[in-house]
Amino acid sequence: MRLSIKLALLASAAALSLTSPTFAQAPAPAALTEPTQKPWLNANQSADARVEQLLKEMTQAEKLTLVFGHFASDGA
């Protein structure tokens, strides 16, 4: 009986330690500041103009994520 209590406590502690870091993370900045206008989605403009508008709005971190991929980033 005593061993099963220890195992239950150990399993509970392990489960808690695995889930708590996910709740402690701050939300992504993109989720906080959603732009109301997205001029780069205007299909009446040329592709070059739309790309320039999009690149002006992107942060350096977003651009680097496109180059290196999501898995090479620190998750920020």
pLDDT single digits (tens) 32-57: 555 558 888 999 999 999 999 999 99
CA angle 70, 15, 74 (to 5 degrees): 20
Cβ of 62: how many Cβ atoms within 10 Å?
13
| pTM score | 0.43
Percent of the chain's residues with pLDDT above 70: 49
User: Is the pLDDT higher at 71 or at 63?
Assistant: 63
How far apart are the C-alpha atoms of 6 and 19, rounded to whole Å? 20
Residue 60 has pLDDT above 80, yes or no: yes
Closest CA to 53 of 42, 64, 66, 69: 42
The whole-angstrom distance between residue 8's C-alpha and the CA centroid of its chain comes to: 33
